[in-house]
Amino acid sequence: MDRTASGWLNGLIGVIIFSGSLPATRVAVTQFDPVFLTVARAAIAGGLALLLLLIFGQKRPARHDIFSLIVVAAGVVVGFPLLTALALQHVTSAHSVVFVGLLPLATAVFGVVRGGERPKLAFWIFAIMGSGLVCGFALVQGLNAAPVGDALMVAAIVVCGLGYAEGAKLSRTLGGWQVISWALLLSLPLMIVSAIWFKPASFSNIDAPALAGLAYVSLFSMLIGFVFWYRGLAHGGIASVGQLQLLQPFLGLTLAGTLLHETVTWTMFAVTAAVIACVAAARKFAQ
């Protein structure tokens, strides 16, 4: 398998894993405080990352890589999880996953700024069209219902796109799983202290679904998914492979409807399908 095909395969696996993140978060925040959920998932994943780094004897990152690791940690370890957890107190996971349609554009923009990529003009036209559909959906459906939730989701997408692009750039030299592992380790001391500070008074009243949600976002969303995702972005190109994120709303809507029994409207599916069509066209001009 050549490097590009490997990038797309790894990226697809990462997207499939990430598709469960918002539904799992939605379940978890019904009983966990959003701040505790954010720091707890990072602390759990950080502990596992430390074990991986020790087991495989990884060298410490170079001093000039520390800033990039801080950006990754701020974007995907703290920023995106916290902002989405707060948003999901106001909107359903079915509503929130449509905003993931903005992620490819955000990732591509930061891929240009931080990764040095230069997609063709046609790519930007189709990417902006897809993002415009998402914004239009938010204006028609979301702002009337929960403007705070929508604003938090937009902010989450911006910081996540930055974290994705920065991590992908660093993965070219440091390695995919190493990037997220070092970012988690960098934030681990603060996350452990914060988790202890914000922990619930008792876990006896926390039911199994909420615990399962915490487990999923800690193991899969925070660590395992990034192993595949950063490798995919590094091998296949940030802007190009980043377009796979447009599959995430469709998969997330399916999970929200089947597992959480949330209301999934035809409008949500129609917007998602239209955005995917735009991204399929944009992919041809990503490089």
Reported pTM: 0.84
Structure confidence at residue 140 (pLDDT) = 67
Mean pLDDT of 165-189: 91
Q: How confident is the model at residue 188 (pLDDT cuts 50, 70, 90)?
A: very high
Among the ranges 40-44, 202-206, 274-278, which has the highest mean pLDDT value?
40-44
pLDDT in tens, 129-144: 877 777 677 666 545 5
Structure confidence at residue 138 (pLDDT) = 60
Mean pLDDT of 154-183: 91
Structure confidence at residue 141 (pLDDT) = 57
Q: Is the pLDDT of residue 163 over 80?
A: yes
Structure confidence at residue 287 (pLDDT) = 57
- The secondary structure of the chain, three-state, reads CCHHHHHHHHHHHHHHHHCCHHHHHHHHCCCCCHHHHHHHHHHHHHHHHHHHHHHCCCCCCCHHHHHHHHHHHHHHHHHHHHHHHHHCCCCCHHHHHHHHHHHHHHHHHHHHHHHCCCCCHHHHHHHHHHHHHHHHHHHHHHCCCCHHHHHHHHHHHHHHHHHHHHHHHHHHHHCHHHHHHHHHHHHHHHHHHHHHHHCCCCCCCCCHHHHHHHHHHHHHHHHHHHHHHHHHHHHHCHHHHHHHHHHHHHHHHHHHHHCCCCCCCHHHHHHHHHHHHHHHHHHCCCC
Structure-model confidence comparison of residues 125 and 181, the more confident one: 181
pLDDT in tens, 238-248: 877 887 887 77
pLDDT in tens, 28-37: 999 999 999 9
